[in-house]
Amino acid sequence: MISSTQKSKILQVVNVFETGSKQGKYDLLVVYKDGKNNSKQITFGRSQTTEQGNLKALLQLYVANKGKFANDFKPYILDLGKKPLWDNTKFKNLLRKSAREDEVMKVSQDVFFDTLYYQPALHFFEKNKFTHALSLLVIYDSFIHSGTVPAFLRERFPENIPVNGGDEKKWIKQYVDVRHSWLENHTRPILQKTIYRTQCFKNQIKSGNWSLNEEINANGIRV
């Protein structure tokens, strides 16, 4: 069982990775050249979702929740996925404004990130018979950062997943090592810069912080 305290710490660590804040910066918006074919795209929200990824789903949830700026977003929802909006200043300002002035956007983001990322990560964790909170942190971070626990990375190390008789701690260590190497040597410099995530996990594994009871240094911020 993952306690509410452990879940809170998991969310805080990943929020720090994504926005530099334990609570997450709901209005944080950046444009990165990390879309398809190295195209530019908006990255937005508490744990950062992308224009070419699930930003449309977040805005559809906000509209369904009758947010203050729901009508203003409707035309842009039609455009998302069909034409780039990363250079649309009006749209970007609207995203920031909604997060700063409407509590519904914050609530929608909390539900969104839980539904689309934390719950699938927890399902993977439980289905494959993981038990340690650190394991869930590693898995959840992978879902936030890569959308899943990529099969091509799982094929690069020998340990079986726990449900298939493997040792949980060995599997997590090998997965973190392989993911660290993949990020460090990625063709995209922007991904190379994210090895602070896997280095953090390496440090927790080394110190034996499997229950997450000890303080975590997440990219310079203590959680």
Tokens 């971070």: give the residue.
Answer: 141
Domain CATH for 172:
1.20.141.10
For residue 71, the SS3 value is helix
Q: What is the per-residue burial (b if ≥16 Cβ within 10 Å, else e) of 43-77?
A: bbbbbbbbbbbbbbebbbbbbeeebebbeebeebb
- Which spans in the chain are helix H? 4-19, 55-64, 70-79, 89-101, 103-113, 119-127, 133-146, 151-154, 168-184, 189-192, 195-207
- Condensed to tens digits (0 to 9), the pLDDT of residues 129-178 reads 999 999 999 999 999 988 899 999 999 999 999 999 999 999 999 999 99
From 205, 199, 217, 181, select the one nearest 132 (Cα to Cα): 205
- Condensed to tens digits (0 to 9), the pLDDT of residues 63-89 reads 999 999 999 999 999 999 889 999 999
Number of domains in the chain: 1
| Domain extent at residue 139 | 4-222
2 close to 213: Cβ distance less than 8 angstroms: no
